[in-house]
Amino acid sequence: MLEELSVRNYALIEQAQLEFGRGLNVLSGETGAGKSILVGALSLLYGGKADIEAIRTGADEAVVSGVFVVEGNPDTKAWLHERGIEAEDGRVLVRRTVKRTGRGPIYLQATPTTRAELAEFSSLVLDLHGQHEHQSLLSEDQHRKLLDRYAGIESEVLDLQQRFQAMTSARRRYDELVAAEQNRERERELLEFAVNEIFEAQLQPGEEEELEHERKILSQHEKLFAQLEQSYSALAESKGGAVLRMREARTSLSTASEIDESLAHAAQRLDSLFYDLEDLAEELRGHHQTIEFTPERLEACEDRLALIHRLEKKYGRSIEDVLRYCEEAQEKLTALENFETEKASLAEEIGVYEQQVRSLAQKVSTTRAKAAERLSSVILEVLHTLGMANATFEVLLTRKQSADGKPICGSTGIDAVAFMIAPNTGEPLKPLRNIASGGEISRVMLAIKTILAENDAISCLVFDEVDAGIGGQVAVAVGEHLRALARMKQVLCITHLATIAARADNHIRVEKGVEGDRTVTRIGEISGEERKREIARMLAGDREAEVSLSHAEELLLRYGSSQRG
């Protein structure tokens, strides 16, 4: 139930604070006074799209908040619990801000939430019916949804949809496998060639760097040999090189250190340098002796490097990349080799889904057929009370068919659902979209909403001009029906009919005026004489005429004896 509604800086509303009670809450006012503004504010709490143009001129943001009573609504409590949101004294505060930037925060209690989540929550506590739903009622897909809701099979239909989608997805994968068979064979040949080529090369990580080093040495063999020979000659003892001269210096410094003990440290350093130099000379001599050069080896290095570079150009920038490509190609080959296995597995999977879909579709169809018969009866019963005493109504189920007339099964089953109506005696049943007037559509929608309201936990129903296109005795019947509905649910009804407003448990007036140099919408509860004058205005457009006031008082006595004020 919606207990409170607060609106600030929304359209022409600068500030409004409304309290709603149980039973029938009526909102009335002159055309253009701002009743639709209030519906717009409510639609924001219903998860509707925000329009920055609705922000009051001169304000930076609009704020709409509402207090919902969720006590006795287990679905709502479960939804809140899943998200860690706790009601306080059985109430939840919803607050939504619309900023000129196009965005604004949304809160459930103190928890930030998204517009999608707000829509989910609101759909559990509030059913907002506006004029746009008249058009939606002309859609046969909407007929199917309403029937499923009445039958209580929405979860079964969702299960059917999910399995149908899984079946469709499996069929698509199967068709792709079959369609790509030629391409797959071509791909397999290319992958096999690549794997064989790389495997035959027997590449080793780090091999390229080693070969480059060896080629550099072999390609400059003569220069390397000559430089090593010259280096060794400069050091060698046998040729009067540095080792011989250092040996002589070592002998002399050793003798000197015996005379001057302070030179002992220098003699030790020279000994160390002598041994290092002697080792270096031997190392150069050994390296010089091991240098070998064969043109065949240089050619082999260059050929091997050419092979590596060719493979890198085709499969990667390095040996590591080429080897990684080979692994991936082998994995793809394995997958391609498993094609027949995958194809058979998919065919089996499709068969299982088809059986499940057929079974579920038949089960859903059987339930729909029984529910359609009941729904036809109860809607017709309500329509008779709403001034359509001679109407005939039927929820018609037929088998879905393809363009060539063959029976088919879709994501929601095998049934095509259509609401059929004959408003007058002797007329044949025709689809609702082909025959119903605006007033008849309003009454059919009211009947459906009433019936569905008996089967769910939603406690608040909002009707925006459900009385469109009706008057006289039909208006009286609609008023009686709304009052009866309000005994089960909280009803918020925006109306221009006095016979409906007179039945209100809580009457709220919306009026437009000028304050200073600004046009404003004022909203507030009315009672007593003020309410009688509003009923008189709704009857004849005149709040002060004695005839109108007398008629208004008569309506209030007849229909509103249990009302406040």
Residue pair 4/66 in contact by the 8 Å Cβ criterion: yes
E strand or H helix at 310: helix 295-315
Query: Residue 103 corresponds to which tokens in the numbers above?
Result: 């965005």
Mapped onto helix, strand or coil, the DSSP state of residue 371 is helix
Query: How far is residue 116 from each of residues 17, 45, 106, 157, measured CA to CA in Å?
Result: 26, 11, 11, 22
Residue 303 lies in a domain: yes
DSSP state of 262: G
CA distance 22 to 483: 11
Q: How many domains does the chain have?
A: 1
CA distance 284 to 237: 13
pLDDT of residue 61: 92
Residue pair 34/12 in contact by the 8 Å Cβ criterion: yes
CA distance 269 to 266: 5
Residue pair 314/286 in contact by the 8 Å Cβ criterion: no
pLDDT of residue 291: 57
Residue pair 99/61 in contact by the 8 Å Cβ criterion: yes
pLDDT of residue 562: 46
CA distance 290 to 505: 113
Residue 316 lies in a domain: yes
In terms of Cα–Cα distance, which of 16, 125, 25 is closest to 493? 25
E strand or H helix at 333: helix 319-337
Residue pair 470/500 in contact by the 8 Å Cβ criterion: no
Q: How many residues does the chain have?
A: 565
Using CA of residue 333, residue 338, residue 340, residue 345, what is the dihedral sign?
negative
Residue 42 lies in a domain: no
Residue 225 lies in a domain: yes
Residue pair 2/461 in contact by the 8 Å Cβ criterion: no
pLDDT tens sequence for the chain (565 residues):
899 999 999 988 888 888 999 999 999 888 776 777 888 888 898 888 888 888 988 898 999 999 999 888 888 888 999 999 999 999 999 999 999 887 789 999 999 999 999 988 988 888 876 655 555 667 788 889 889 989 999 999 999 999 999 999 999 989 888 877 767 778 888 888 988 888 888 888 888 888 777 677 666 666 666 666 666 666 675 666 776 677 777 777 777 777 778 777 887 887 888 787 777 777 766 665 555 657 776 777 778 888 888 888 888 888 898 899 899 888 888 877 777 788 889 999 999 999 999 999 999 999 999 999 999 999 999 888 888 888 899 999 999 998 888 999 999 999 999 999 888 888 899 888 776 666 677 778 788 878 877 766 778 888 876 777 677 888 888 888 888 888 888 999 888 888 899 999 999 998 888 887 788 888 888 989 999 999 898 887 766 778 888 888 888 888 874 444 3
φ and ψ at residue 561, rounded to 5 degrees: -65, -25
φ and ψ at residue 9, rounded to 5 degrees: 55, 40
Instruction: Kindly give the residue spans of alpha helices, DSSP state H, lying in 429-486.
Output: 432-435, 438-453, 472-485
Locus of tokens 């909203």? 523
Query: How far is residue 308 from each of residues 216, 220, 277, 315, 433, measured CA to CA in Å?
Result: 17, 22, 42, 10, 75
DSSP state of 52: G
Instruction: Kindly give the residue spans of alpha helices, DSSP state H, lying in 93-180.
Output: 115-125, 132-136, 140-151, 154-179
DSSP state of 428: P
Helix-, strand-, coil-residue percentages of the chain, each rounded to 5: 60, 20, 25
DSSP state of 45: H
Q: Number of H helices and number of E strands within the chain?
A: 20, 15
Which structural domain range is residue 239 located in? 186-337
Contacts (Cβ under 8 Å, ≥6 apart) of 478: 386, 387, 442, 443, 446, 466, 467, 470, 497, 500
pLDDT of residue 271: 80
Locus of tokens 């009573």? 69
CA distance 3 to 13: 19
E strand or H helix at 337: helix 319-337
pLDDT of residue 565: 38
Residue 277 lies in a domain: yes
Using CA of residue 70, residue 73, residue 74, residue 75, what is the dihedral sign?
negative
CA distance 460 to 451: 14
**pTM, 2 dp:** 0.61
In terms of Cα–Cα distance, which of 55, 75, 66 is closest to 17? 66
Residue 6 lies in a domain: no
Residue 30 lies in a domain: no
Residue 7 lies in a domain: no
